Amino acid sequence: MTTLIVTSSAHGSTREIAERVAEVLRTSQAVPTVVEDVKGAAAWLATADAVIVAAPVYTGSLAAGAVVPGVVAAVAALAALQVFVLNPLAAAPGDRGLGRIYADLSAAGQLGVPFVLSAVILAAGLGVAAILWFLTWRREEVDPLAVLALGLASLVAASPAYFMASFGPGMALADTYGIGGGDHSPWAWPIYVVSVLALAGLVAVVVLLLRGPAGGLGAPRRRA
């Protein structure tokens, strides 16, 4: 049995070394089985290199198609809960339940357009999450990093979107109960924190996109 040992160095990749050894064995009329073994090793190394290159792209796809849309949807759900449930309960004086609070708002003529507009703005967050998922998993030609950047930008925009969505209901509570129109519940803070973190992530992703294919990530996916 013939044993072949291949050592890699900084002068070339393991695939290149294996191909060179196979060529040497061919020219020196080495044992055919050894040549076939080396050719098989070269094919295996080529597959391993492809997996290593594809791993960051898959990671970007996973982040763009699963993690970020999930966070966008969660932020939209938290914002809706804050605007329509948590903040009214925290803002209303006394031990009023949610039904009593909305009855007071209706009696004061404060229900209507502000709450409808808030619902539309917050529902748009779920729409953005669905679009991000669709672009990642249903459109193969779209760069997952570009989708990831779009998702992070959406999370950055979550703070101003929440402010717009909460302004009308907050003023309605203020006019009804004679209180301040700002947040009375602390559950708006996670939205602001997520926006700040998303801004940092967006900067990093934009840098990778500017590097393009040379960075190993910013390349569109192609169907096999």
Query: Which residue type is seen at 157?
Result: A
Per-residue pLDDT, 113 = 86
Q: How far apart are the C-alpha atoms of 79 and 70, rounded to whole Å?
A: 14
Which pLDDT belongs to residue 25?
A: 57
Rounded to an integer, what distance in angstroms lies between the CA atom of residue 222 and that of residue 217?
13
The helix/strand/coil state of 12 is strand
Give me 97's structure tokens. 């339940």
First to last CA, the chain: 39
Asked if 165 contacts 121 with a C-beta cutoff of 8 angstroms, the reply is yes
Alpha carbons within 13 angstroms on the beta-carbon side of residue 64 total: 28
User: Count H helices, E strands: the chain?
Assistant: 9, 0
Q: What is the pTM of this model?
A: 0.68
Q: How much is the pLDDT for 54? A: 41
Return left, alpha or beta for 212; rule: phi > 0 is left, psi -120 to 50 is alpha, else beta: left
Strand partners, 151: none
For residue 137, what are its two tokens? 């998993």
Sign for the CA dihedral angle at 90, 92, 95, 99 comes to: negative
Please name the residues in contact with 223: beta carbons below 8 A apart, sequence gap of 6 or more: 140
Q: Maximum distance among all alpha carbons in the chain?
A: 97
Which stretches in the chain have pLDDT values below 50? 1-11, 30-32, 34-35, 38, 41-42, 44-57, 214-219, 221-224
Contact status, residue 129 vs residue 78, Cβ threshold 8 Å: no
Q: For residue range 81-119, what is the model confidence (pLDDT) as tens digits? A: 999 999 999 999 988 999 999 999 999 999 888 899 999
